[in-house]
Structure 1
Amino acid sequence: MASIIKNRAIVNDDWSVVRPAEDGALPAVSELPAGKVIVPLALWQAERDALVAARRAADIGVWLAPDNEPADIVSDFDKLALIAVDFPVFRDGRGYSIGRLLRERYGYTGELRAIGDVLRDQITFMFRCGFDAYALRADKDINDALKAFDDFSVQYQGAVDTSPLFRRRAAQAGAAKVPA
């Protein structure tokens, strides 16, 4: 069984990512593997009712490609156990924006997983955009990647995980001036 990083720990991954065939064809619902599956948004949109009827909500996740619109899935948050965002190549950063949109604009609070070409160098930045689970590329060392959370001790910019440093310092200065 493969492992992923989830909530800053290495855990077994019991999910199967379903990909379209080489020609772009999507599998039928009856052809999906048993157990928990993460299906492409196109399959979810085409077969939502059949997927919901065939599986428990705890066993269904959807993955978004870089050119998918996260707003298309907002009304289905309650039907999904997780949302994954595909990073097809290291240099494609659109997934970061999708993560922030899901967390900040659309209020998604469930598991947000990075899949595809996920490398150690990206994990800190993905975390700052709201990701809490990471399926590393198969040829990478997951134990080494876990150390990425300790690479930076201070974040200057604001993001999903913290406000900008100048605001944190101003809040500390204001708290210090309040008489006891």
Structure 2
Amino acid sequence: MQRIIKNGQVIDETWHLLPKDATLDGLSNSDDVIVPLALWREHSHALKARDGGLGVWLDADEEIEEIADELEHFQVIALNFPAFTDGRHYSTAALLRQRYGYKGEVRAIGDVLRDQLFAMRRCGFDAYALREDKDPYDALKAFEDFSEVYQAAVDQPLPLFRRRA
């Protein structure tokens, strides 16, 4: 069983992340699933009728605007990083929190490394599925790398000079 970091703790993963080519065949009605955007586009009515929890995942080339009017259906929105050098979803997480007011879980999946976690949290992520070869307990230390931040961000809307005044 994979372990993820969520809200500053390492926990057992309870959600099933479906592959990009997933279909509705064999999908349990009661499992908590994170479906690829293509499956959501094709079968949103059937997925909404299920009893289990529902999440969606977006690849780096898919934009949140495609589902912005449907965010209330998702408990989890997972954003895939195909390579740690691909930072497009940092903006997606910030848009989810700031523009769309999304309050559910925003999870980083894919090629997620310890060095990214502090910046990801600042953008609005609150859950992280690290690459399988990385230790989530070691990665928790990333949140202690800096004791103060200067800039405003999702996690701290006021810049340091405003907090000191």
Question: Shorter-chain-normalised TM-score: which range?
Answer: over 0.9
CA distance in 2, matches of 1:17, 1:32: 12
Asked if the contact 1:18/1:32 (under 8 Å) is kept, the reply is: no
Uncovered stretches (5+) of structure 2, i.e. residues with no partner:
none
Query: Of 80, 86, 89, which residue of structure 2 is paired with 1:86?
Result: 80
Query: Of 119, 125, 128, which residue of structure 2 is paired with 1:125?
Result: 119
Query: Of 46, 56, 59, which residue of structure 2 is paired with 1:62?
Result: 56
1:39 corresponding residue in structure 2:
35
Using structure 2 for the length normalisation, give the TM-score: 0.93
1:28 corresponding residue in structure 2:
23
The structure whose residues are more often helix, as a share, is 1
Moved over 6 A (4+): none
Asked if the contact 1:4/1:11 (under 8 Å) is kept, the reply is: yes
* 3-state SS in 1 of match to 2:106: strand
Asked if the contact 1:71/1:106 (under 8 Å) is kept, the reply is: no
1:99 corresponding residue in structure 2:
93
Uncovered stretches (5+) of structure 1, i.e. residues with no partner:
21-25, 171-180
Q: How far 1:30 sits from its partner (Å)?
A: 2.1
> What is the letter of the counterpart of residue 46 of structure 1?
E
How many aligned residue pairs are there? Answer: 163
Q: How far 1:32 sits from its partner (Å)?
A: 3.4
1:139 corresponding residue in structure 2:
133
Using structure 1 for the length normalisation, give the TM-score: 0.86
- Rg: which structure is higher? 1
Task: Quote the RMSD (CA, aligned, Å).
Answer: 1.3
1:167 is the counterpart of 2:159? no
CA distance in 2, matches of 1:28, 1:159: 38
> What is the letter of the counterpart of residue 51 of structure 1?
L
CA distance in 1, matches of 2:111, 2:148: 26
